[in-house]
A and B are shown apart, each in its own frame.
Chain A
Amino acid sequence: MSERDDSRLVEYLYGELPEDEVRAIERDPESLEDARELAALLSVVREGDPGLDPPAFLDAKIMAEARQVAEAAPKSAWRRWLTTPVLGGLLAATAASLFVVVNIAVLDRPADEALAPTPASAPAQVQASIAPGAVAEPMAEAADQADQAAPVEAAKLEEERVGAAADRSARAEMKSGLDALEDARKQQDLRPRREAAAKRNTDKDSAFGGDGLGSAPRGDVASGRAAGAKAGKMERQTAASGAETEKSREDSAAGEKSKKATSGDDDRLVGGLAQARREEASDESVAAPAKEASPPKKPAPDPNPAEPPAEAAPPRPAVRAPALAAPPPPPAGPVAGPATPAPPVTSLARLSDAEQPAKNETLSKTAEAKKGGAADVRRVAEAEVEIARAQALISAARLDEAEQALVRARAALSNTPGGARIALRLGQLLLSRKKSEAALNAARQAASWTDEPTIRQQADALAARAKP
């Protein structure tokens, strides 16, 4: 019998044969007889040997293993969260903490930056910051806050300080940078303040004993270009009685600051030489101050806790402060931007008048922001955002939108000296756009919101030009 016949017979026995082939088998007597015998055999076998049931106890070990494997099997995400609430809670708490920390950092940064261009603080403090001897008090208040943060980073910063303490030669270079700054000061009629700064410098040298520069990375310290910046920092640190919270920030922008420090444009020394350098940088591209404005978030150590630092969070060189304080644009109007693609800040800077006092406010603004309410900070931040937007829009020649942005910035700082400046710039923009009446209103607002003589004079001049 062939394999094919075997297959057909078996299929017939198990009922798997097609109907036509079933008939073919049943028509063949030999095949039919064979199939009968095998079917009978199967019946006997099934009846006589039905098979055995395995003992139940065998399942116990198998199921124990199966449960073990099942527990180790990867579960779905929601089941993991349900079954491991502790882990889930920890993860959630970590995420929440990160969120809060990041938010604080993000909110803190624009607040500092916003203070530079927007004179939101009281005019009295602005004037006080200009006065040679009046810097210490607000800065000391802010320094108290820095003291709280200093221990957190103390170990890390101590390590940096020790590592850089050997850079004595750099100090000599910084001295020369300090001399360069001194030369710059001579070009301005700020002799009393210069004397005060020199006095502070002397105090600082004695206070730090050479280690005060140690927090700077060696490479930066050794850099000749950094000398001026370091000198400026040292002087500010002296004025701030040891606060070093801006040291790392200063280091990151050391080269550019060095250039600025020797440019000879510094006419404001009150509040520290960093402020003066920012003013000098106002005529340069925004890129340099931008670097200053985004310093590494590395708080400085408190080298001498007994001596309260005068600067809690030293005023970060604001990105837009120089721009806002830059000389006003030519009468042709603010639309005329630079030939090369310039940052928006530069465009707005040309639109504004020279507002040198505003630069001096930065330091006091920072201190005030540190101790001021969150609402003020938020308002300042909003105004800052709007100013930045206006600058960008002016660069893009979208003056309508720029005007609206300035209006919003002015609203955010209404009835404040900062608002007065914004109103003044808004008036200039309006006047350049032949909106004399609106410009006149803006000029009057600017004059009424501030006591600063410079702003008032500019506002009056603007009002005179805007009068039909």
Chain B
Amino acid sequence: MSPADRGSGARALPAASSAPKPAPAPTPEALERAAREDAELMTRFKKGDARAFELILARHRRGVFNFCFKMLGDKAAAEDALQEVFLRVVRSAKDWERQAKLTTWIYTIARNHCIDALRKASHRKTTSLDHALNEGEEDALPLGDRVPDEEGIGPDRGAESNRMRVVISNAIAALPAEQREVFVMREHAGMPFKDIAAVVGVPENTVKSRMRYALEHLRESLRKAGITKEGST
């Protein structure tokens, strides 16, 4: 039974109008202003203003945390990674040059940390099906419960939201790492493709292509999970 044949068992994607509504993207001016503010805050911190770094942390902690969480797949590891990344930022602040974009710099550190952490974890850790993927979430389900069954996500609306989240999280986690990092940096950190390309170290068109493949993979995963554009679960 193909996902397309699931019929009513699939949740419908939002019905698109004649022309799809493009995802809201920050304007270039807003991005430039944000980068300028970041640079100003970092300069103040380098001169001894600890309050400036508090603002930097407030601006980027969520994006970095989600990036690490999606990359590592473990909340505790993401928390450790968040701390480690910002501690590195603090300790390396004196080496930061104003010409470098702060966002790019921070996510480069975060990406390197995640790569190292994954490399270390790959040698000693295996995930059980009873292990909750989203640790720390009260409603986190064991991994075995998150695998969509043949009937797709159940009709219970309250549980549907959780199941939807699980499906999406699983779909993202199942992405190849190079597509996942691009997707997360774009969707959760709101970074422009140009900056993502700088972090990843590939051309911008390659980043966009990876994003395209990531979306295709997600669509396929959701389709397999019974989520279709035509109907609800």
Question: Which residues of chain A have a CB within 8 Å of any CB of chain B?
Answer: 1, 3-4, 6-7, 9-16, 26, 32, 35-49, 51-55, 58-59, 61-63, 65-67, 69-71, 73-76
Contacts and interface: CB of A to CB of B under 8 A. Distances in A.
A3 B209 contact: yes
A41 B205 contact: no
B208 A38 contact: no
B19 interface: yes
Nearest to B19: A26
B23 A15 contact: yes
Contacts of A1: 212
Contact of B50 (A41, A61, A66): A66
A119 B13 CA distance: 113
Given A48-B168, A75-B48, A7 B205 contact: yes
B132 interface: no
Contacts of B164: 44, 47-48
B215 interface: yes
Chain A residues touching B, majority SS: helix
Contacts of B79: 54-55, 58
Given A3-B209, A6-B212, A40-B229, A12 B22 contact: yes
Contact of B90 (A3, A26, A65): A65
B199 interface: no
21 contacts: A1-B212, A7-B209, A10-B208, A14-B186, A15-B22, A26-B19, A36-B20, A38-B219, A41-B215, A45-B218, A48-B164, A48-B167, A53-B62, A55-B79, A58-B61, A58-B82, A61-B87, A62-B86, A69-B93, A71-B50, A74-B48
Contact of B48 (A12, A16, A53, A70): A70
A49 B166 CA distance: 8
Interface residues of B, number: 60
Contact of A61 (B15, B83, B208): B83
Contacts of B209: 3, 6-7, 10
Interface string B38-52: 000000011111100
Would you list the 8 A-B pairs with minimal beta carbon distance, nearest first? A36-B16, A39-B20, A6-B212, A54-B65, A40-B13, A73-B48, A70-B50, A15-B22
Given A38-B219, A59-B54, 15 more contacts: A6-B211, A7-B209, A10-B193, A16-B25, A32-B20, A36-B19, A44-B164, A44-B222, A45-B168, A46-B187, A48-B161, A58-B82, A67-B50, A70-B49, A70-B53
A15 B62 CA distance: 24
A70 B208 contact: no
Interface in B166-207: 167-169, 172, 186-188, 193, 205-206
Contact of A49 (B87, B91, B172): B172
Nearest to A43: B14
Nearest to A41: B219
A359 to B, nearest CB: 67
The interface residues of chain B, by DSSP majority, are classed as: helix
Interface string B73-85: 0010011001100
Contact of A63 (B23, B48, B50, B213): B50
B45 A70 contact: yes
Contacts of A55: 79
Given A44-B168, A52-B69, A54-B79, A7 B208 contact: yes
Contacts of B103: none
Contacts of B15: 40
A16 B207 CA distance: 14
Interface of B: 13-16, 19-25, 45-50, 53-54, 57, 61-62, 65-66, 69, 75, 78-79, 82-83, 86-87, 90-91, 93-94, 161, 164-165, 167-169, 172, 186-188, 193, 205-206, 208-209, 211-213, 215, 218-219, 222, 227, 229
B173 to A, nearest CB: 11
B208 A11 contact: yes
Contacts, number: 162
A13 B24 CA distance: 9
Nearest to A6: B212
A441 to B, nearest CB: 72
B40 to A, nearest CB: 15
A37 B222 CA distance: 12
A52 B219 contact: no
Contacts of A13: 20, 22-23, 215
Nearest to A55: B79
Most buried by B among A45, A55, A61, A75: A45
Given A14-B22, A41-B219, A54 B53 contact: no
A188 B218 CA distance: 121
Given A9-B212, A70-B49, A14 B169 contact: no
A58 B64 CA distance: 13
A289 to B, nearest CB: 59
Contacts of A38: 20, 215, 219
B222 to A, nearest CB: 7
A40 B46 contact: no
B91 A69 contact: yes
Contacts of A51: 62, 66, 188
Contacts of A35: 20
A40 B69 CA distance: 24
Contacts of A66: 45, 50, 53-54, 57, 90
Given A10-B212, A59-B61, A40 B16 contact: yes
Given A51-B66, A59-B57, A39 B45 contact: no
B82 to A, nearest CB: 5
Given A42-B23, A73-B47, A63 B215 contact: no
Contacts of B86: 62
Contacts of A41: 13, 215, 218-219, 222
